[in-house]
Structure formats: structure tokens, C-alpha cells
A and B are shown apart, each in its own frame.
Chain A
Amino acid sequence: MTTFLPRDPKVHPPAHTPGYKSSVLRSPRLPKLSFENSLSEATGPVFGHDLLGPLDHDLIENYAQPGESAIGERIIVHGRLLDEQARPVPGALIEVWQANAGGRYRHKKDGYLAALDPNFGGCGRVITGADGAYAFRTIRPGPYPWPNGANDWRPAHIHFSIFGQGWAQRLITQMYFEGDPHIALCPIVQTIPDPAAIDALTARLDMGATVPMDARAYRFDLVLRGHRQTFFENRVEGA
């Protein structure tokens, strides 16, 4: 049976982060129960390509009227999904969601003054290839204010939800953009205590993948927990 390496708490935000006020009443205070993986943690759901629609990887078009497209800076986000042994994680479902170019979400509870874009839904999904690669097309989201401190702003970001190959790898995170001064100012980003871990969530401009006269590209690799195969495992690696 494949089991997963212990999660390193030092790379993740602690539960209780008073600078991010919403965590104060929503953070468990007692220690978590540690235990070895059973099949319940080593297994996980499988998502086939048949569940994806033809435009699910294209947020510029997937909620646009025919002949129209979302407003904003056109970008491609691409990278690889790896585990902590740098092995690719193929066949993994990645779901993404984000604000529009003005920094507003298509959600009834978002009351920000910025305009909604009728041609932008703000969500998409992809499944990683055999080499763990993924890519989607979108518009660069805008920064926006949020009611935490008196004048807190979120950096431009895209949310990622990832299913690996086992329940123990389940992860939700956010991608930030290289050079954004709000990264250092954001109470949510700063829940992460390790600067290297913040840097790893910061996508790099990738001119090599830019489509000339169309879209710039950002490179963003993701890492899930590593796994090991137990002594009794006799299947071929990767089978």
C-alpha cells in the first residue's frame, strides 16, 4: 500500500492567525490526532477526462457570449504538479477560481464597487497530464479590498483546489503574481510563516510560453505531499 509522508507543519499556516481575523473563531485549539495512513487516507477519488467540458480550461471563453471574451490582461497559467520526491502527479483534478480584472467575484456576497464582467465567470478546471503538466487560459485578476483591517487589500491571486492520488494529499492554496507589492502586505499571505513557502506560491512571468500578440504566460508549479510504498508493496513503481 502506498502511504503518504507526514505533512510538515512548518510549511503551512498555523490555524490561529489573529492578523487574519476570520481565523480567530474558526481555528481548532487542541492538537490534531496523528496516526498512520490506512486505506481511508491512501486512497482517493478519481476524476476522468470525460467530466471536463471543452472550454473548462479557458476562463476567457467559458462564460463568454459567442464572439465575445472576458475583459482584462490575457494570460496563460501553466506548470507541473509534483510530489515531494519531484515525481509528477498525473491524472489529478485541479479546479481554479478567481476575481475578474477589476477584482470582483461573480458571487452574490461580493459587494465590491468594481464592475462585474458579463463575459467572465471566474472558474475553470483541468486534469494533469502524464508528466503532471497543466495549463489554463484566463485574465489576470485584479487586487481588491476586504474587511479585515481598515485598509487591507488582497494581492491579485488565483485559488487552486487539488486532488492528488490519495485523500491525504487534498490541498487548497492560492497563486500570487511575481512583483505584486501587496504580497508582503496581505494578512492572508502572511499566515504562512516561511518566506520560502510564500515564494513558492508566487508565479513567474514566463516569456518562453507567451503567445505573441495574444497572451502572456505565468509559470506555477505545485507540490503535493510525497508518498512511499510500504515493504509489502510489490507492484511496479507508478503502476
Chain B
Amino acid sequence: MPKESASQTAGPYVHIGCVPSFAGLKGRGPDLGAAMVTDATRGERITVEGYVYDGAGAPLRDALLEIWQADADGLYASPAETRGTADPVFTGWGRQPTDGETGLYRFETIKPGRVPWPDGRMQAPHLSLWLVARGINLGLATRIYFADEAEANAGDPLLARIDPPSRVRTLVAERQGDTYCFNIHLQGPGETVFLDV
């Protein structure tokens, strides 16, 4: 049986292949995943933004981030979703680079509904996040939870596994108005919890 192909770094020029407009390559329309919502998408509009910091505390200005999430009712737009039909005008997938000067990333999306854990318990609302950049040999997966969902977060089966519990806060975005701030720390005392997805 074959083994999974080995991962390799996306390198500094991932933008050419994944967000060609951002790399200055014009003429093929908008980049995939650039816009997640339309006026018809159901759900509460939110903005998620932040920085990805390296071990020296510098923001990455060459990273690419993707999010994957359920719709407002907690349904995924995927053939593997068997509980119902997701909002037809919401793919649940977004892709954004960090700003080449400041390092800020930003997603305009909706607050997701709750999705079950394999045993049937409901998970807290969350976004799945995936991150690649020069120097990252295997794409890093993590999740974004929401600070104003404290009760759901307290009962979330994944968050409950984090040891020590003080690291849970690395997966919780703070709310400021309609914007959630979520910073990722690749190393250091506040290293983000990454997932063996």
C-alpha cells in the first residue's frame, strides 16, 4: 500500500499558486476563497483577524491561511455531510494571505453553528484553520473558538483535552465589536495549540 506523499514547505512564493492576484498575476478572476459570504448568506457577519508570530515575535508577512467552517446552522457544505443540506450560498471555505507589509490577515465570514463530536456531544462553535509559509514543513492546523461562547467552550470535547488547561486561551479569539482577534504564536510561552489533524 502506498504511503502518504511527504509534505514540503509551501515556500515564500505560495501566493503565485494559491492567491495569484495577490502575487500580481492578473487576468484569471478573483482568487479562490477570497470572498466567503454574499448578501444571501445566512448568519451573523463577523470579521476574524490577527497576526502569526514567529519565535522571535515577528509577524509572518508571507503566510497563507485557510479556514473551513460550518454554516450558521452547523452544517458543512460537503458530500460527507449527511445531516442536512448546508446553506447553498456559503461554501464554508476561505483563503487569505497575511499582508505583505504588516502581516495582518483578515477573514470576513459568518459565525458558525455547532457541530457534533463523534459521540454526539455538541462542540462549541469553531473555525478550522490551516497555515502554511516558508519554514513550515507540514501545514499547521488549529481551531478558532469565540470568547463570547464561554459556556459552549467550557463543554467542548476538544478544548477539554488540552493540558495544561491554561493553553485553551490560545484557541479563543477575543471579541472587539464585530471583530474577533486571533493571534497565532508558532513558538514561545504562548505557543498556540496545534492539532494533529
> Is there contact, CB below 8 Å, between B13 and A191?
no
Given that A96-B17, A107-B15 are known contacts, is A28 also in contact with B8, CB under 8 Å in the complex?
Answer: no
Task: Say how far B12's CB is from chain A's closest CB, in angstroms.
Answer: 6
A165 contacts partner chain B, Cβ-Cβ < 8 Å: yes
Given that A26-B135, A107-B13 are known contacts, is A201 also in contact with B8, CB under 8 Å in the complex?
Answer: yes
Task: Say how far B103's CB is from chain A's closest CB, in angstroms.
Answer: 13
Q: List residues of chain B with CB within 8 A of the CB of A207.
A: none
**Residues 144-177 (chain A) with a chain B CB within 8 angstroms:** 159, 161, 165-168, 170-174
Q: List residues of chain A with CB within 8 A of the CB of B155.
A: none
> Is there contact, CB below 8 Å, between A173 and B20?
no
B82 contacts partner chain A, Cβ-Cβ < 8 Å: yes
B126 contact from A15, A40, A46, A224, Cβ within 8 A: A40
Q: List residues of chain A with CB within 8 A of the CB of B150.
A: none
> Is there contact, CB below 8 Å, between B2 and A86?
yes
**Residues 76-93 (chain B) with a chain A CB within 8 angstroms:** 76-82, 91-93
> Is there contact, CB below 8 Å, between A172 and B135?
no
Q: How many A-B residue pairs have CB under 8 A?
A: 255
Given that A25-B55, A170-B130 are known contacts, is A2 also in contact with B80, CB under 8 Å in the complex?
Answer: yes
> Is there contact, CB below 8 Å, between B186 and A33?
no
Interface of A is mostly: loop
A201 contact from B6, B9, B62, B130, Cβ within 8 A: B6
> Is there contact, CB below 8 Å, between A33 and B193?
yes
Q: How far is the CA of A84 from the CA of B5 in the complex (A)?
A: 9
B7 contact from A13, A40, A63, A166, Cβ within 8 A: A13
A60 contacts partner chain B, Cβ-Cβ < 8 Å: no
Task: Say how far B44's CB is from chain A's closest CB, in angstroms.
Answer: 19
> Is there contact, CB below 8 Å, between A25 and B135?
yes
Given that A36-B118, A40-B123 are known contacts, is A173 also in contact with B196, CB under 8 Å in the complex?
Answer: no
A7 contacts partner chain B, Cβ-Cβ < 8 Å: yes
Q: How far is the CA of A122 from the CA of B15 in the complex (A)?
A: 11
**Contact string against B for A residues 107-118, beta-carbon threshold 8 Å, 1 for contact and 0 otherwise:** 111100000000
A204 contacts partner chain B, Cβ-Cβ < 8 Å: no
Q: List residues of chain A with CB within 8 A of the CB of B48.
A: none
Given that A35-B158, A122-B16, A170-B139 are known contacts, is A45 also in contact with B4, CB under 8 Å in the complex?
Answer: no
Given that A23-B136, A107-B13 are known contacts, is A82 also in contact with B6, CB under 8 Å in the complex?
Answer: no
Task: Say how far A110's CB is from chain B's closest CB, in angstroms.
Answer: 7
> Is there contact, CB below 8 Å, between B7 and A173?
yes
Task: Say how far A83's CB is from chain B's closest CB, in angstroms.
Answer: 8
Q: List residues of chain B with CB within 8 A of the CB of A35.
A: 158, 161, 195-196
**Contact string against B for A residues 98-129, beta-carbon threshold 8 Å, 1 for contact and 0 otherwise:** 00000001111110000000000111010000
> Is there contact, CB below 8 Å, between A40 and B68?
yes
B172 contacts partner chain A, Cβ-Cβ < 8 Å: no
Q: List residues of chain B with CB within 8 A of the CB of A189.
A: 8
**Contact string against A for B residues 50-94, beta-carbon threshold 8 Å, 1 for contact and 0 otherwise:** 000011101010100010101000001111111000000001110
Task: Say how far A149's CB is from chain B's closest CB, in angstroms.
Answer: 15
> Is there contact, CB below 8 Å, between A123 and B78?
no
Q: 5 closest A-B pairs (Cβ-Cβ)?
A: A97-B17, A22-B135, A43-B78, A26-B135, A45-B93
Q: What would 19 A/B residue contacts be, using CB atoms closer than 8 Å?
A: A22-B134, A25-B55, A25-B187, A27-B186, A28-B186, A38-B117, A43-B81, A62-B28, A86-B2, A95-B17, A121-B16, A123-B20, A159-B8, A159-B13, A170-B139, A172-B10, A191-B8, A194-B6, A200-B3
Excluding A11-B4, A172-B14, A196-B3, 14 further A-B contacts by CB distance (< 8 Å) are A1-B82, A28-B187, A28-B191, A39-B115, A44-B80, A97-B18, A107-B12, A121-B20, A123-B17, A159-B13, A172-B9, A192-B8, A197-B6, A200-B6
**Partner-A contacts on B (CB < 8 A):** 1-18, 20, 23-25, 27-29, 32, 54-56, 58, 60, 62, 66, 68, 70, 76-82, 91-93, 115-118, 123, 126, 128, 130, 132-141, 143, 158, 161-162, 186-187, 191-197
